[in-house]
Amino acid sequence: MKWETVIGLEVHTQLATKSKIFSGSSTAFGAAPNTQASAVDIALPGVLPVLNRGAVECAIKFGLAIGANLNRVNVFDRKNYFYPDLPKGYQISQLAKPIVEGGALKIVVEGEEKTVNLTRAHMEEDAGKSLHEDFHGMTGIDLNRAGTPLLEIVSEPEMRSSAEAVAYARALHTLVTWIGICDGNMQEGSFRVDANVSVRPVGQAEFGTRREIKNLNSFKFLQQAIDYEVRWQIETLEDGGRIEQATVLFDPDTGETRMMRSKEDAHDYRYFPDPDLLPVKLDEDWIERVRAALPELPAAMQARFQAEYGVSAYDAAVLTGSRALADYFETAARACGQGKLAANWVMGELSAALNKAELGIAASPVSAAQLGALIARIQDGTLSGKLAKQVFEGLWEGAGEVDAIIEARGLKQMSDSGELEKIVDEVLAANQKSVEEFRAGKDKAFNALVGQVMKASRGKANPAQVNDLLKARLQ
């Protein structure tokens, strides 16, 4: 039997506010345990929550960015459940009337574009954190995160592979950091993914029973967890077992998921409107002010990059992986006037060097203007691709600007026809066997002659000129 995978993602995005969603407590990461939990955050008697306007504005930005419907009146609800790191016994969230409904996000997987529709995005507060690692036989509770503002973003179950799920999560991560509503730091818990995974026979309309993999904080773990869960569900069903709806955790050390608890449904949480918070009303002027302040969005920039710079849809998606990367590429492309070549250098030589040095694009020792100047020297024939790599190394080391490095290291491409003709004649005279093999129809012999000329010129010969001169001599 052939099986189809069905995946929907719920992403908890920490909103980029300095204070919590219903109190003035700080959201800064790394404070000593329980030093940033106020009376409001843990709902001590007599306190009242006050909604953070900045959190609402972040949600508006997101709704506009994905083309969603913004509910002009949206309501906060209490989601009631007991958990050690939720001392007040309920979480303030949105159920019946969330701030954002609908919208869509485009992803590119293996060169194919796909649209993933979103169900909703709602504001809510985070719970605290249970710490198991540092205590033998006990659990420590840190309530610093309690009340931290979140936007929970829920997709439709439209993804059919772990590759699609990762592409969607990456695109969402790019978007929320791009528009400035989240810092995107997955190690600090700012962007956490829950994956709802089920399988069904190919052709079956009804969904299978889903299991929810909680709190995945890296794209690598997201892919590994889904792949394992899919294999486990298929093997269980093919062995005659049945899947029970459950919440599971992924163990990166074993690469396996394990059940945490049987899954609750919405009615188990006894939702009701929060009596301490009024409905949130969005007026049109506010929405339009937020819309006017939005930057050019990744999807629009991708289309523009394809049109203006001639890059592929895949390249455009990679180059808009972050605003910093997109800005770097565009600055380099404009400096040299060679969009496709600039894209190749940014995604190739530059990315490899940054990865090796474990640096982000913002910390690149080679500026966008310098890379553009380097590419311009390739275009005007001053440098070959091979020599350009040596100049790039000089830029990376801080040896100066492009022209100064070319001059100091004697890297200018040899383009004097008389000098090249002399080298070509010497190579032909010294490699008569290759000449005879080429004339006998062996194309590889020509490549060998080209290599000998490049070697004799110490890599400085213009490859195009070398090819032309050799062809002329061998006719």
Cα–Cα dist 18/15, whole Å: 9
Cα–Cα dist 2/342, whole Å: 44
Cα–chain-centroid distance for residue 326? 13
Give the mean model confidence (pLDDT) for residues 370-374. 97
Cα–Cα dist 321/331, whole Å: 16
What tens digit of pLDDT does each residue of 451-472 get?
777 777 767 677 766 776 677 6
Q: What is the predicted pLDDT for the residue at 350?
A: 97
Q: What is the predicted pLDDT for the residue at 108?
A: 86
Give the mean model confidence (pLDDT) for residues 8-30. 97
Residues with Cβ within 8 Å of residue 396, at least 6 apart in sequence? 353, 365, 366
| Averaged confidence pLDDT in the chain | 91
The helix/strand/coil state of 299 is helix
* Out of 71-75, 332-336, 365-369, 460-464, least confident range: 460-464
Residue 267 has pLDDT above 70, yes or no: no
Residue 67 has pLDDT above 90, yes or no: yes
* Share above pLDDT 90 across residues of the chain, in percent, rounded to a whole number: 74
Q: Which residue has the higher pLDDT, 107 or 423?
A: 107
HSE on the CB side for 64, CA within 13 Å?
A: 23
Give the mean model confidence (pLDDT) for residues 320-340. 95
Q: Which residue has the higher pLDDT, 468 or 217?
A: 217
Q: What ranges make up the beta strands (E) of 20-158? A: 69-70, 73-74, 77-80, 90-93, 100-101, 104-109, 112-125, 129-131, 140-142, 149-155
Kindly indicate the confidence band of residue 268, based on its pLDDT and cuts at 50, 70 and 90: confident
Residue 35 CB coordination number (10 Å): 11
Cα–Cα dist 174/191, whole Å: 11
Q: Quick one: 353 exposed, middle or buried, by C-beta within 10 A (0-12, 13-18, 19+)?
A: middle
Joined together, the tokens standing for residue 120 give 């909703």
What residue ranges define each of the domains in the chain, with the CATH number in brackets? 3-287 (no CATH), 296-409 (no CATH), 417-474 (1.10.10.410)
Residue 416 has pLDDT above 60, yes or no: no
Give the mean model confidence (pLDDT) for residues 376-391. 88
Cα–Cα dist 124/93, whole Å: 4
Q: Which residue has the higher pLDDT, 422 or 289?
A: 289
Read out DSSP for 164-210? HHHHHHHHHHHHHHHTTS----TTTTSEEEEEEEEEEETT--S----
Residue 266 has pLDDT above 60, yes or no: no
Residue 234 is classified by DSSP as H
Kindly indicate the confidence band of residue 20, based on its pLDDT and cuts at 50, 70 and 90: very high
What tens digit of pLDDT does each residue of 133-188 get?
777 888 899 999 999 999 999 999 999 999 999 999 999 999 999 999 999 999 99
Q: What is the predicted pLDDT for the residue at 415?
A: 62
Residue 6 has pLDDT above 80, yes or no: yes
* Share above pLDDT 70 across residues of the chain, in percent, rounded to a whole number: 94
Kindly indicate the confidence band of residue 429, based on its pLDDT and cuts at 50, 70 and 90: confident
Give the mean model confidence (pLDDT) for residues 83-98. 92
∠ CA 450-454-459, nearest 5°, is 150
